[in-house]
A and B are shown apart, each in its own frame.
Chain A
Amino acid sequence: MRLHRPSRTRQLVSLTPLIDVVFILLVFFMLASSFNDWRGLSLSSPAQVTSRSAANPALLVRVTQEGIIIEDRTLDAAGFETELQKILQTTPDRRVILRPEDQVALQRIVEVMDQAAALGATNVSLSRP
């Protein structure tokens, strides 16, 4: 007896074009997508230093490239931290006004805002010289 075996070879769909397209899609998404974690900082509008109330006078912080000037005293980062901590302990909602001195980059201001936020200052605004 002779059994007729059907031929097993089936026509394979050519996978090469599929792989091509998928590779192109992959490259597109790799180049076009970004994985940045965006942070947002709600900025209070630039403050008017002149409008000060006697009950809660604003603390003017002048930011220079090297350090920070509070009331004509030049402080480094650590000194600013202890100073601000002391101030915030007595008046937690003290208004803090950051004022950049001569051509300070934005990154520097953001660093000082970071510092202030870490210490719990909630009322931080910016002003221009």
Chain B
Amino acid sequence: MEFRKTEEREQPENVLPLINVVFLLLIFFMIAGVLEKADLFDVEPPVMASGTEAEAGEGLLLIAADGRLAFEGNEITADSLDKAVAAFRAREPDMLLRLKADGAAPAEHVIEVMEMLKEAGVERVMLLALERRS
């Protein structure tokens, strides 16, 4: 009995255009996107139309909507804020602290934190916000 072997050689799909597109996408995401450290908790910053381009600062202080604080990736309490900042300020006396506060956080609490920062000796504070898209 003779079996007829089906032709085993398949036409190789032309994968080169696919690779080209994927490489282009890869390069786009590598160059256009910015890799950021993930935040300790979810913070949805306020949206603003004015303001300047955010500068790179030295420290990053997070304020969550429920008032929790985190400085440079470590959760802290309001009492230990000055201690955490002081250790940082010893290295960078003229530090620019970036303040990333949730838009839903009570403004009074944010101002309270700013007052504590001022007492701790931080003179320059920058509030981060997202650009309003029209």
- Answer yes or no: are A and B bound together in one complex: yes
Chain A interface residues toward B at CB < 8 A: 12, 15, 18-19, 22-23, 25-26, 29-30, 32-43, 45-46, 63, 100, 103-111, 113-114, 117-118, 126-129
Total contacting residues, chain B, CB less than 8 A: 50
Which one of A34, A38, A105, A114 contacts B54 once the chains associate, using CB atoms below 8 Å?
Answer: A38
Within 8 A of A (CB), among B94-133: 98-99, 101-108, 110-112, 114-115, 118, 123-131
How many Å lie between the Cα of A74 and that of B46 in the bound state? 24
Q: Give the Cβ gap from A65 to chain B, nearest Cβ, in Å.
A: 11
A15-B19, A19-B18 known; A39-B103 Cβ under 8 A: no
B79 CB-CB contact with A under 8 Å: no
How many Å lie between the Cα of A37 and that of B15 in the bound state? 36
**Contact yes or no, A38 B130, CB < 8 A:** yes
Which one of A25, A40, A103, A107 contacts B52 once the chains associate, using CB atoms below 8 Å?
Answer: A40
Supplied contacts A26-B29, A106-B107, A107-B103, 12 more A-B pairs, CB within 8 Å: A22-B22, A36-B34, A38-B54, A38-B128, A38-B129, A39-B50, A40-B51, A41-B48, A107-B47, A107-B104, A114-B48, A117-B50
Which one of B29, B52, B114 contacts A39 once the chains associate, using CB atoms below 8 Å?
Answer: B52
Q: Which residue of B lies closest to A118 (CB)?
A: B50
Q: Give the Cβ gap from A100 to chain B, nearest Cβ, in Å.
A: 4
Q: Which residue of B lies closest to A110 (CB)?
A: B46
How many Å lie between the Cα of A32 and that of B32 in the bound state? 12
**Contact yes or no, A43 B130, CB < 8 A:** no
Q: Which residues of A contact B41 (CB under 8 A)?
A: none
**Contact yes or no, A104 B26, CB < 8 A:** no
27 pairs of residues in contact across A and B, judged by CB atoms under 8 Å: A19-B19, A23-B22, A26-B22, A29-B29, A33-B32, A34-B34, A34-B36, A36-B130, A38-B54, A38-B130, A39-B53, A41-B48, A41-B52, A42-B124, A43-B99, A43-B126, A45-B125, A46-B118, A100-B107, A104-B106, A105-B104, A110-B48, A110-B129, A117-B50, A127-B111, A128-B111, A129-B108
**Contact yes or no, B128 A40, CB < 8 A:** yes
**Contact yes or no, A107 B46, CB < 8 A:** yes
**Contact yes or no, A105 B118, CB < 8 A:** no
Q: Give the Cβ gap from A12 to chain B, nearest Cβ, in Å.
A: 7
How many Å lie between the Cα of A93 and that of B110 in the bound state? 25
B33 CB-CB contact with A under 8 Å: yes
